[in-house]
Amino acid sequence: MSTRRIVGPFNRVEGDLEITLDIADGRIEAAYVNSPLYRGFEQILQGKLPADAVVLVPRICGICSVAQSAATALALADAAGVEPPNNGRLAANLTLATENLADHLTHFYLFFMPDFARADYAGRPWHAAIAERFRATTGSAPNQVLPARARFMQMMGLLAGKWPHTLAVQPGGSTRPLQSSEIFRLHRNLREFREFLETVTFGAKLEEVATLASRAQLEAWRGQAGGGDLRAFLAIADDLDLWRLGRATDRFMSYGCYNEGNRRLFPSGLWHGAAATLDIAGIHEDITHAWYAAAGLPQHPATGSTLPVAEKEGAYSWCKAPRLAGQVVEAGALARQVVAGHPLARDMIDGYGASVAARVVARLLELALVLPAMERWLTELAPGEPWCVTAALADETSGVGLIEAARGSLGHWLTVRRGRIHNYQIIAPTTWNFSPRDSAGQPGALEQALSGLPASASEPLPAAIHHVVRSFDPCMVCTVH
Amino acid sequence: MNILWLQSGGCGGCTLSWLGGEHGSLFRELADEGIQLLWHPSVSEAGVDEARDLIAQCADGHTAVDVLCIEGSLLRGPRGTGGFHRFGGGAQSMIEWVRRIASRARHVVAVGSCSSWGGITAAGVNPTDACGLQYDGEASGGLLGPEFRDHSGLPVINVAGCPPHPDWITETLAALAHGRLRAEHLDDYGRPRFFADQLVHHGCPRNEYYEFKASAQKHSDQGCLMEQFGCKGTQAHADCNQRLWNGEGSCLRGGYACIRCTDPGFEEPGHPFETTPKVAGIPLGLPSDMPKAWFIALAALSKSATPARVRENATADHLLRAPSVKRGRK
């Protein structure tokens, strides 16, 4: 006999999250992940002029705002058949990278680590030091990180005018031409952020972290002097065995991101024990357990629909259930690095699969991987060369925009009829990770990751559940939109 | 002074903007001003059951709330049930929680244009019947009704913006903490006048282009964005070009038009956001307080007087001609 327990609101996730747990014999027998907020962006966009999407769509999300801008710009550029000039491409990379890295930092310091300061861990030898460092709002870390993050985000002031919600990211490139002295200032921001990461987060050079190639090397590196918050986390991860907590499907996807002309810094692909091609024609959204009017079979997003219904038998979330060739997949920094073939990422999932620890380490690894690329992109900017081309859209057209937000794969599918948006469908990273069940009864990635964890019907929720939920860096406002 | 912060039909971007405040750590700044966060969904430690218990105590009056901050639109749909946003962990809709706590809180602050007027969530067909706390677009009303006053006699304080500047939020809260925010400090729409009495136009770096109506023709051009790109800077109430964003940014500095995001109804401008509506070649939206005939006359005159330098630079993405250097004292 199982007992049902409804848990919410989960905080320190972006947006609203509730989880229903069926608990039997002290363990989670089944988890049902619910996104309890619906706003209806896909309905709002219908009938709008395509160009207005650059204003409306980023406002889906305050934390993935630029990622949403980038996906819109790509979908519109695809529909118009234009490509931004070199400067526009580099500016788009820099803007997206600034958001993605800031999000990784925010997740680690403000959303994820404060759970280890909780009284649950008062008995652990590391607790006193960790609580002093990471306690929500009063710890030394959040108070040290906010000013460093704000300094880093000054890059957004120069690249995009402001953050969140810029209009600088356009299908034809960037509205913000940069002159040499401004590029110098951006270099200064990056230098300061590098120094922060190397002294505070890693206690090591970024290049040293970026070249760690296995868990054994990571463990050996942890034993070295240098301090830093990653080493503190690794000690906790070993103590609590976070390497064996939170496994989901071990099927990883990435749309790829950071256009480098003839390649992307991180390629697109699929990984399930071995590399495979990502066929986006195989994506379908299933609404069996979501509050939407049934359209029969699961739909490809290019022809998908969004018709909310107040009540529906068997439905428990506003989140649709995207599937790739019928399978549940995981998106995020870990997935991105596994697909990209980073040896540490691949080694971290070898054995116990995806885990809380692997997801967190992959995010910090990306800080070390992407910042040097940003330094390079800055040197490639060419003031005086064009930044933006005009993108004229046909009255009947369609386009797709695929990008990687900090927390994973974000896709936009746009159809234009008679000069207006006929359909605009969005699948966000957390739509993949926190989806409800599908028509075959397959639970979503988080639902799988929670299954089997210890829990009781009446005791306070075990901290492990918080770790698993937040290890995905969920963005619930994007999830349903 | 304590704050209870709740989010509903928005994107969370007001909080993210706020966390980007540039005066040291925001948490320390709040503490220095004597402000405690009772609970904030993005940064507080307490989650699930603890958070629910706390919020229930706020709603039934067992915990006093000095300031209720609401971020995001209030979703009345479907059919008045509020079911598009049920607060996690229970059966009640968020609008029900907001009504209950707002009736007890000492002050109520709408953070951002969604909770002020409805905002972007109310755009298009407004699928969720979204509105603001005390406004539904330009109409007084919203979730709490036109007559709502807090326990000190203030209406809902609308820190509008999509998102608001971090300092608008912090300075409003600090003013409340120090008892320095009174009815006369709010404008006709309940916005704190310290930022709403300014125009985005004030301090715009494109002012010389504006003076001569030397206009940008494509994205990334340096010219004025009013004539072609729908810029509302001369009408929009905010100090964005005096109090800069993320270091040295603003919409205009980022190369794109002001969309008047601090005003009710900005989400439905009645024209493409980045295209200026015109009648017989004359832009429809005139600068604030400017008589139309004078605007047309001055625009025609200044256009014909445009220096070649300004005209050429307006349609380029970098300076083609620098201001000439005069030698001697005059």
Question: What is the distance in angstroms between the Cα of A320 and the nearest Cα belonging to chain B?
Answer: 15
Query: Which chain A residues are closer than 8 Å to B259 by Cβ?
Result: 55, 167
Interchain contact, A12 vs B42, CB within 8 Å: yes
* Residue B282 pLDDT: 83
| B49 touches A at CB < 8 Å | yes
| B80 touches A at CB < 8 Å | no
Query: Which chain A residues are closer than 8 Å to B126 by Cβ?
Result: 44
* Residue B328 pLDDT: 81
Chain A interface mutation, best of B2, B4, B11, highest count of A Cβ atoms under 10 Å: B11
| Rounded mean pLDDT, B119-143 | 98
Domains and CATH numbers, chain A: 3-480 (1.10.645.10)
Interchain contact, B85 vs A36, CB within 8 Å: yes
Interchain contact, A143 vs B27, CB within 8 Å: yes
- Which of B121, B162, B254 minimises the CB distance to A168? B254
* Residue B258 pLDDT: 98
Interchain contact, A61 vs B11, CB within 8 Å: yes
Query: Which chain B residues are closer than 8 Å to A138 by Cβ?
Result: 27
Say if residue A164 is preceded by a cis peptide, omega within 30 of 0.
yes
Nearest CA in chain B to A171: B219
Chain B interface mutation, best of A37, A90, A179, highest count of B Cβ atoms under 10 Å: A37
DSSP letters of B61-112?
Answer: TSS--SEEEEESBEE--STTS-TTBBPTTSS-BHHHHHHHHHHH-SEEEEES
* Residue A149 pLDDT: 98
pLDDT digits (tens, 9 = 90+) for A210-263: 999 999 999 999 999 999 999 999 999 999 999 999 999 999 999 999 999 999
| B162 touches A at CB < 8 Å | yes
| Rounded mean pLDDT, A435-459 | 97
CB pairs under 8 A between A and B: 277
Q: Is the pLDDT of residue A295 over 80?
A: no
| Rounded mean pLDDT, B163-188 | 98
* Residue B234 pLDDT: 97
Question: What is the distance in angstroms between the Cα of B177 and the nearest Cα belonging to chain A?
Answer: 19
In 3D, which of A105, A333, A334, A93 has the Cα closest to residue A202? A105
Q: Is the pLDDT of residue B330 over 70?
A: no
Interchain contact, A9 vs B85, CB within 8 Å: no
- Which of A17, A47, A143 minimises the CB distance to B25? A143
Chain B interface mutation, best of A175, A180, A434, A476, highest count of B Cβ atoms under 10 Å: A175
The owner of tokens 């034809």 is A172
The dihedral built from the CA positions of residue A430, A432, A434 and A436, taken in this order, carries a sign that is positive
Longest dimension (CA), chain A: 71
Distance CA B328, CA B330 (A): 6
Say if residue B163 is preceded by a cis peptide, omega within 30 of 0.
yes
In chain B, the percentage of residues whose pLDDT exceeds 90 is: 92
| Rounded mean pLDDT, A424-453 | 98
Q: Chain B, 88-127: which have a CB under 8 Å from a chain A CB?
A: 88-90, 120-121, 123-127
The burial class, CB within 10 Å (0-12 / 13-18 / 19+), for A458 is: exposed
Chain B interface mutation, best of A18, A165, A180, highest count of B Cβ atoms under 10 Å: A165
- Which of A7, A146, A308 minimises the CB distance to B127? A308
Interchain contact, A11 vs B46, CB within 8 Å: yes
* Residue B110 pLDDT: 98
Query: Which chain B residues are closer than 8 Å to A387 by Cβ?
Result: 220, 317
Question: What is the distance in angstroms between the Cα of A178 and the nearest Cα belonging to chain B?
Answer: 8
B232 with B272: CB under 8 angstroms?
Answer: no
Type of residue at A252:
F
| B224 touches A at CB < 8 Å | no
Residues with Cβ within 8 Å of B162's Cβ and at least 6 positions away in sequence, in order, are: A59, A165, B13, B112, B113, B114, B119, B120, B261, B262, B266
* Residue B219 pLDDT: 97
Q: Is the pLDDT of residue A310 over 90?
A: no
Interchain contact, B42 vs A18, CB within 8 Å: no
Query: Which chain B residues are closer than 8 Å to A470 by Cβ?
Result: none
Interchain contact, B87 vs A477, CB within 8 Å: no
- Which of B48, B87, B253 minimises the CB distance to A461? B48
pLDDT digits (tens, 9 = 90+) for A273-285: 999 999 999 999 9
Question: What is the distance in angstroms between the Cα of A324 and the nearest Cα belonging to chain B?
Answer: 27
- Which of A9, A163, A387 minimises the CB distance to B20? A163
* Residue B285 pLDDT: 81
The owner of tokens 């049930």 is B81
Query: Which chain A residues are closer than 8 Å to B41 by Cβ?
Result: 9, 11-12
Q: What is the complex's ipTM, to 2 decimals? A: 0.97
Nearest CA in chain A to B8: A37
In chain A, the percentage of residues whose pLDDT exceeds 90 is: 98
| Rounded mean pLDDT, A394-409 | 98
More confident residue, B117 or B280: B117
Interchain contact, A37 vs B9, CB within 8 Å: yes
Average pLDDT, chain A: 97
Domains and CATH numbers, chain B: 2-196 (3.40.50.700), 198-321 (4.10.480.10)
Question: What is the distance in angstroms between the Cα of B21 and the nearest Cα belonging to chain A?
Answer: 7
- Which of A117, A157, A388 minimises the CB distance to B245? A157
The dihedral built from the CA positions of residue A82, A84, A86 and A89, taken in this order, carries a sign that is negative
Interchain contact, A136 vs B20, CB within 8 Å: no
* Residue A225 pLDDT: 94
Distance CA B328, CA A336 (A): 63
The owner of tokens 């006929």 is A422
DSSP three-state, residue A201: helix
Query: What are the b/e assignments for A25-59, b being 16+ CB within 10 Å?
Result: eeebebbbbbbbbbbbbbbbbbebbbbbbbbbbbb
pTM above 0.90, yes or no: yes
* Residue A382 pLDDT: 98
Residues with Cβ within 8 Å of A296's Cβ and at least 6 positions away in sequence, in order, are: none
| B253 touches A at CB < 8 Å | yes
Q: Is the pLDDT of residue B281 over 90?
A: no
pLDDT digits (tens, 9 = 90+) for B94-109: 999 999 999 999 999 9
Question: What is the distance in angstroms between the Cα of A364 and the nearest Cα belonging to chain B?
Answer: 20
Say if residue B78 is preceded by a cis peptide, omega within 30 of 0.
yes
Residues with Cβ within 8 Å of A52's Cβ and at least 6 positions away in sequence, in order, are: B272, B273
| Rounded mean pLDDT, B199-210 | 98
Residue B94: C-alpha distances to residues A377, B2, B261 (Å): 45, 21, 25
